[in-house]
Amino acid sequence: MTVCSAPGKVYLFGEHAVVYGEPAVPAAIERRATVSAEPRADDHVRVEATDLSLDGFTVEYTGGTGDRPDVDVPTPLVEAAMGYVDAAVRQARAAADRPDAGFDITIESEIPLGAGLGSSAAVVVAGIDAATRALGEPIDRRELADRAYRAEFEVQDGQASRADTFCSTMGGAVRVEGDDCEPIDAPNLPFVVGFDGGAGDTGELVAGVRALKEEYRFAADTVRSIGDVVREGERLLADAVPGADPQRELLEDLGELMDFNHGLLSALGVSARSLDTMVWAARDAGAHGAKLTGAGGGGCVVALDPTDETETALSFTQGCEDAFRAELATEGVRVEGA
């Protein structure tokens, strides 16, 4: 059995605009999805998801999510989870040139599903890595990130960006602009995450921004403005000491840009009352900045605060189901127990 894990992520800046070729800076966090893969003698795939924000399920099938027995969880949740597993298995088979390879797969995750923290990307990255290694055909990180992106692109009907999968593969902070993806240096940013317990519909939210952008010139200008925020944030990060605790002035400057970014995302209609409430609770508690992270519509916000004040405030904020500190994950996908 081969076991690999990959981290989730938060967006420091740039979600949604990255779909249109603007830069984005996501950062990996130490919340991980862990996938184990054991080759089988047949071509079946048996998946056990003991967490994944579902009630837990086990399913065996022969090559597609439509060919499986009924399981005791809501169908949309099974289809969402299994769609990514299907795509990861196809990519692993192709990478290893083993089109009929079967697997027993177990998935565990500390990352809420659909909350904007990159749960699907982490599962796909860890899954492809575990499956190819289990077949004796490990692939390098650049190919892994590319194959994971292709898997997400397929499941998300062509609306995925490379940001989530590249960040989960490489760890740390990364810069993504179109197909150009590179790790960048970053200090040890004091992330605090608030989760409203919900999840937005990524496809619907992306489509909504696309419609606004096509109809209104000012919406297109808003998307470009998000890109400008990202570029200014990159300039600030370039002057920071990698891996060190950041100075207060840097946190204040980055936080101000995060506030701008949230306002621009709100103008594009992708925030939600719960997210806005958590953002303002974090700011009122003294966070240097706070914004939604991910597609929006529900899910998570991320704030910068080295103290305990923001986490405490969020934990008492109506509509916030969970609040936690999130260390920067300097290591991306890795083999566990090696």
Which pLDDT does position 202 carry in this prediction?
Answer: 79
Using a cut of 0.85, tell me whether the model's pTM lies above it: yes
Determine the Cα–Cα distance for residues 229 and 253; give it in Å rounded to an integer.
11
Which pLDDT does position 188 carry in this prediction?
Answer: 92
Strands 102-109 and 289-292 turn out to be unpaired
Instruction: CATH 3.30.230.10 in the chain: give the residue spans.
Output: 2-184
**Alpha helices (runs of H) in the chain, residue ranges in sequence order:** 75-96, 119-134, 141-155, 163-170, 202-215, 217-238, 248-267, 273-284, 309-315
What is the third-level CATH fold of 2-184? Ribosomal Protein S5; domain 2 (3.30.230)
Enter the tokens of residue 105: 């797969």
Marked catalytic residue, from 86, 129, 146, 164:
164
* CB-CB neighbours of 319 under 10 Å: 18
Instruction: CATH 3.30.70.890 in the chain: give the residue spans.
Output: 191-326
* CB-CB neighbours of 192 under 10 Å: 27
Q: Any catalytic annotation for residue 164?
A: yes
- Secondary structure (3-state) at 58: strand
> In the chain, which residues have pLDDT < 50?
53-57, 61-74
| CB 175 within 8 Å of CB 185 | no
Q: Is CATH 3.30.70.141 the classification given to domain 191-326? A: no
* CB-CB neighbours of 337 under 10 Å: 8
| CB 131 within 8 Å of CB 89 | yes
Identify which of 37, 328, 61, 7 has the alpha carbon closest to the alpha carbon of residue 189. Answer: 328
* CB-CB neighbours of 153 under 10 Å: 16
Q: What is the pLDDT of residues 35-81, one digit of tens each?
A: 999 999 998 888 887 655 444 445 554 444 444 444 444 455 556 66
Q: What is the pLDDT of residues 189-225, one digit of tens each?
A: 999 999 998 877 777 888 899 999 999 999 999 999 9
